[in-house]
Structure 1
């Protein structure tokens, strides 16, 4: 059963009743068993919402990727109090973004890492879908907007009305890089993709930014100054924001005023400890985002001989997609004084010799030199060892036991990028050689989320570039990354807030005090960085005082604004220690929450005259470090306290050479889940293989018919250079036309190597066939010399196909094209918004009752 409102209701309803019945019992048992502090789950409404979200994501893993994409990219009408104007960022702006990416990568990296410069520019749509969003109340007043000689549509008028709001938030939604859309996240924005894998989403986000600062011809809005734009995103969207910021910085382009990163996913190798520790307190599935097999995913559809994870057998030098050699380097043998065969990277596996006083002196960019030589060892110059043998390349897996033959991955584990691309700094920004010289960053994380450690590390790496170097294996052959180490040394201003007990993307749970505090703080940050000049911000990078959480029930707006540009990016097209205890400092910080049901409510009410929230006394290195970093923890009531010292945080005690390495434990956990899915859907897998063969035959037939009908392209039939070729056939002879701004199509990929999931290079999915047909008959790139007419039989066949239309382009992938509701406008996404509103009202009512009782 696909993901629909009905199937979601069937799947989630039992969870709601189960949670309700167990909540009081579990809470009582936990509080009696220990003196633990309160948790967000102690609130029945959060407990329900948490389990509802977790159950929905679980439902998604039991269905195909396409089904989840269709559900989350279904158009949902905006509420009456919101002004929402859809726009299309045109191909011309997308081309400008592509040119910037081509410059960033350079020819060698485009060929050997990306797989070419064309395939990722191929798209079915005529641009990037986006929305302008603002609250009606913010733009209602003012004179009527007009443009001389033009009759404005309602959407265009709204966009002009929004220009009274100076600040623009460019928001990039999350969803694991393969699901989610404008519709899933619009309700959050109003409060303040495997088909198109990496680097497609980078191009989309970059295009959205260029669209704002350099409006193309025909755009209704004026150019927005870069100093008035703030990037924002959650999860995968936040990771994209950070990656695009580094691109803008590296190319010397104008940077936005700042960025809000909510639970940013910045390490796709899952190398940090919290990945294995926090899955019970997070909404992310234990085994990752698995899916029922379809023509799209997984890759390969069924495991090869031996399984999806197998002992390494590669002995040749590494090639793209292969693991590195099993042979130990001379450096490894000299370092240990042994001559036995080693299966793992000695330098990274044997951490103890880095911390031991017996370590030899080794010049290594990952650590400071140690000086005391051990018996039987000698100082080994950096140039005498090959770092590639010490830090395993994907798909090789770092083993916990150094004497165990390493495993290697035979399947793609992330939908966003091929396994061998996961350590690229634009895929996993945690591996950027420098995160200095960026605009101010406000970074939020939940203490209970699986991404907690990488987020904490990210914040400190940006604020202290010299203290957190990137491992050598990443920058060894990357000229740009090497240069950036020396080029970008200025610490980035960072405010890091970790929220007690909260899960991934805490802002989803709008009604909680934590989320309300976060929205208010985000609003203050956006207003601060977009309304002050550079000189002021250099000395005052963040708002001077905290605003008490929940003084008002309604969300805080930036006086009048900001308006939000929200691109439908093509992600929808996809050595540990125990956790450190929270500091007890500042527990008696006065509460100023009108909604709170804290046991000390009466005491709190007596102190309501004190509006400003007090900060806890600074501990150890303090809340502010070097004037560049604010480090805070927020409890479930919105009380701020200083974060514990850096040396006590497990994320910051990791060796650089262990970061961005695919490790045994998370791989085995993923493999365990994938094995269950392979067994559960074995019969479905056989059907999928037949479907893929069917669509491959259909694609070949489509191409053959097009050639018979007069299709001419340099790869099929006559070439551009053929002197015998007549003038181009006019587009008037067909239902389509050649688009001057569309550079490339699926027939332009000779000598390119698109990833296995990329729709541009495939012929075995219905979406790939639809893309072919659209480029041949409807919106051809400039490399097509003709636009052929459909044969009469093709027209008749299309008329009987519910998914086709002889007069319109075929529907493209649901990752790229929104699905419309044709009947009753009831959708699970709108229902979720209603549920959140209900929980919020109940929480407010309960708080009001408590206040009245206290009075």
Structure 2
């Protein structure tokens, strides 16, 4: 509460002026009530004029503990590193074509396990059920920040609404831990569920009882995990859910730059650089050394596009030369066929909208939508050409990860998520309908995608980094893009639900 007051009190004039404008001029979107409008304005303001932060400060600030909802309990534990070593064996096989652009430091484990937690309804008798519905949830935060405790609004809501157990992990964060460290931890968690230790308190799970889910970067990591499992020949999970998934780290789609998007996320030109710190210095030195090794020593084939060649890192999560790796940017995979059923959700007013739309079409119609031009011919060689059952839902007027705020669209999205999980785990005896692409209005009514949604299907620059001049008039942190979203989408959303709704 004290942190919330410190954030909001200086914004009182802005909140008052926004309130006046809300009633005089109307909200930015018709369905936004005053509380929704104020929340969006507040987080945007935090992006623009928050004090400068180091990477370390961003990570500490974003990992504060959010209470779970009433009627839900938390059981914290660690997943043993033996599961990471098992995951490493599988990842080394599928990453072999890309190993010349990757730092091997991800293999050097610096801790004794993955900090994790189970979220569940007390006395749920989950162990006795024939279908033990389980959600492996991967948090968002741009791969730089946040953690299992910052997404408890989402995870505790899912545990209650789905009547499932939710496993959440603190996967390793960039820039200290480069790709594929986070993916290794996610795969280790899945392997833990399939073959738990004797003291875990549950028997090995049927993979068809497990659903991957995540928001933003966590949604992208869920997709990457699904691809890795498919390519490694491991048992497939029941389904994958991405809420506003970040699946294109080349930020190549038009909605990223769309001025019509009423979102928390700024355009690439408005992103910030971090305040100098020891972590940033070490990260930049290692990144520069790796790039020099890749290019000057010519140690492997070029697997990146010319647009990736620019000073500095485009993303902290992976080197520029590795941005087209499918487990980094799932939207760019050679094929998105042969995956478990997908539920992809995005807001019509968010910058990541086009990524979700394009990924959905590539998975449902893999032979028609074959990815970036520089991957031409690779789909034909892929063994995964069978269409993936894909449900795409675009919610009108909604911003990034709108599920953390109270709105009619939030209620509808949760209903659809629960229905999807129940169907893919066979908790209800109903087959999944065919792949569908829908636009859902603020009344919860389904319709076809609109014309501006389909423009991405004709986009010729998929996977090509746009030429955007960064606006560096003030020094801010790229991770702040996500940490302040986290501050709103966790603590602030929690505060709103407790005090206003």
Q: TM-score band, normalised by the shorter chain?
A: 0.7 to 0.9
Indicate whether 1:178 and 2:178 are aligned: no
After superposition, give the CA deviation of every residue in 1:608-638 in whole Å (9 maximum; x if it has no partner): xxxxxxxxxxxxxxxxxxxx42111111222
6, 30, 33: which one pairs with 1:39?
Answer: 30
* Cα displacement (A) at 1:100: 1.0
* Cα displacement (A) at 1:439: 0.7
Aligned to 2:154: 188
* Cα displacement (A) at 1:61: 7.4
Aligned to 2:277: 294
Gaps of 5+ in 2: 159-173
Aligned to 1:507: 403
Aligned to 2:163: none
After superposition, give the CA deviation of every residue in 1:377-423 in whole Å (9 maximum; x if it has no partner): xxxxxxxxxx979x843533xxxxxxxxxxxx211121111222212
Aligned to 1:459: 360
Indicate whether 1:420 and 2:311 are aligned: no
Indicate whether 1:639 and 2:450 are aligned: no
Structure-2 separation of matches of 1:229 and 1:473: 35
Flag the structure with larger Rg.
1
* Cα displacement (A) at 1:44: 0.9
Q: How does 1:235-254 map to 2 (within 5 A)?
A: 235-254=216-235
Aligned to 1:92: 82
Indicate whether 1:395 and 2:394 are aligned: no
Indicate whether 1:654 and 2:451 are aligned: no
Structure-2 separation of matches of 1:498 and 1:633: 5
Instruction: Give SS of 2:61's match.
Output: helix
Indicate whether 1:114 and 2:9 are aligned: no
Indicate whether 1:210 and 2:203 are aligned: no
187, 190, 198: which one pairs with 2:179?
Answer: 198
Instruction: Give SS of 2:473's match.
Output: helix
Structure-2 separation of matches of 1:247 and 1:301: 28
Q: How does 1:139-154 map to 2 (within 5 A)?
A: 139=123
Aligned to 1:705: none
Aligned to 1:523: 418
Indicate whether 1:71 and 2:47 are aligned: no
Structure-2 separation of matches of 1:173 and 1:414: 18
TM-score w.r.t. length of structure 1: 0.51
Indicate whether 1:135 and 2:121 are aligned: yes
Structure-1 separation of matches of 2:414 and 2:192: 26
Aligned to 2:204: 223
257, 265, 290: which one pairs with 1:284?
Answer: 265
Structure-2 separation of matches of 1:422 and 1:463: 23
Indicate whether 1:433 and 2:334 are aligned: yes
Instruction: Give SS of 1:40's match.
Output: coil
* Cα displacement (A) at 1:483: 7.4
* Cα displacement (A) at 1:57: 4.4
Instruction: Give SS of 1:426's match.
Output: coil
Structure-2 separation of matches of 1:455 and 1:93: 31
Structure-2 separation of matches of 1:163 and 1:63: 48
After superposition, give the CA deviation of every residue in 1:689-731 in whole Å (9 maximum; x if it has no partner): xxxxxxxxxxxxxxxxxxxxxxxxxxxxxxxxxxxxxxxxxxx
Contact 1:259–1:442 (CA under 8 A) maintained in structure 2: yes
Structure-2 separation of matches of 1:25 and 1:501: 20
Contact 1:393–1:420 (CA under 8 A) maintained in structure 2: no
162, 169, 173: which one pairs with 2:135?
Answer: 169
Aligned length: 469
* Cα displacement (A) at 1:217: 4.2
After superposition, give the CA deviation of every residue in 1:560-615 in whole Å (9 maximum; x if it has no partner): xxxxxxxxxxxxxxxxxxxxxxxxxxxxxxxxxxxxxxxxxxxxxxxxxxxxxxxx
Aligned to 2:294: 320
Instruction: Give SS of 2:77's match.
Output: strand
* Cα displacement (A) at 1:58: 4.5
Structure-1 separation of matches of 2:363 and 2:425: 21
Structure-1 separation of matches of 2:335 and 2:254: 22
Structure-2 separation of matches of 1:298 and 1:507: 36
Contact 1:230–1:258 (CA under 8 A) maintained in structure 2: yes
* Cα displacement (A) at 1:16: 2.9
Contact 1:58–1:285 (CA under 8 A) maintained in structure 2: no
Contact 1:445–1:504 (CA under 8 A) maintained in structure 2: yes
Indicate whether 1:123 and 2:113 are aligned: no
Q: How does 1:502-581 map to 2 (within 5 A)?
A: 502-509=398-405, 511-531=406-426, 540-542=431-433
* Cα displacement (A) at 1:526: 0.4
Structure-2 separation of matches of 1:419 and 1:677: 24
* Cα displacement (A) at 1:645: 6.7
Contact 2:370–2:379 (CA under 8 A) maintained in structure 1: no
Aligned to 1:259: 240
Instruction: Give SS of 1:130's match.
Output: strand
Structure-1 separation of matches of 2:320 and 2:179: 12
Aligned to 1:785: none
Structure-1 separation of matches of 2:455 and 2:281: 34
Structure-2 separation of matches of 1:56 and 1:216: 44
Contact 1:239–1:266 (CA under 8 A) maintained in structure 2: yes
| TM-aligned CA distance change 1:830 to 1:270, over 3 Å | closer
After superposition, give the CA deviation of every residue in 1:536-559 in whole Å (9 maximum; x if it has no partner): 87xx324xxxxxxxxxxxxxxxxx
Contact 2:153–2:490 (CA under 8 A) maintained in structure 1: no
Q: CA RMSD in A?
A: 3.4
Aligned to 1:797: none
Gaps of 5+ in 1: 31-37, 143-159, 303-307, 309-317, 325-386, 397-408, 477-481, 543-627, 682-756, 758-814, 816-826, 841-855
839, 849, 854: which one pairs with 2:500?
Answer: 839
Structure-1 separation of matches of 2:489 and 2:13: 16
After superposition, give the CA deviation of every residue in 1:44-89 in whole Å (9 maximum; x if it has no partner): 1210122233334446673222112112212344455211111211
Indicate whether 1:491 and 2:297 are aligned: no
TM-score w.r.t. length of structure 2: 0.84
* Cα displacement (A) at 1:472: 5.1
Aligned to 1:821: none
Structure-2 separation of matches of 1:87 and 1:275: 38
Contact 1:72–1:183 (CA under 8 A) maintained in structure 2: no
Structure-1 separation of matches of 2:380 and 2:227: 10
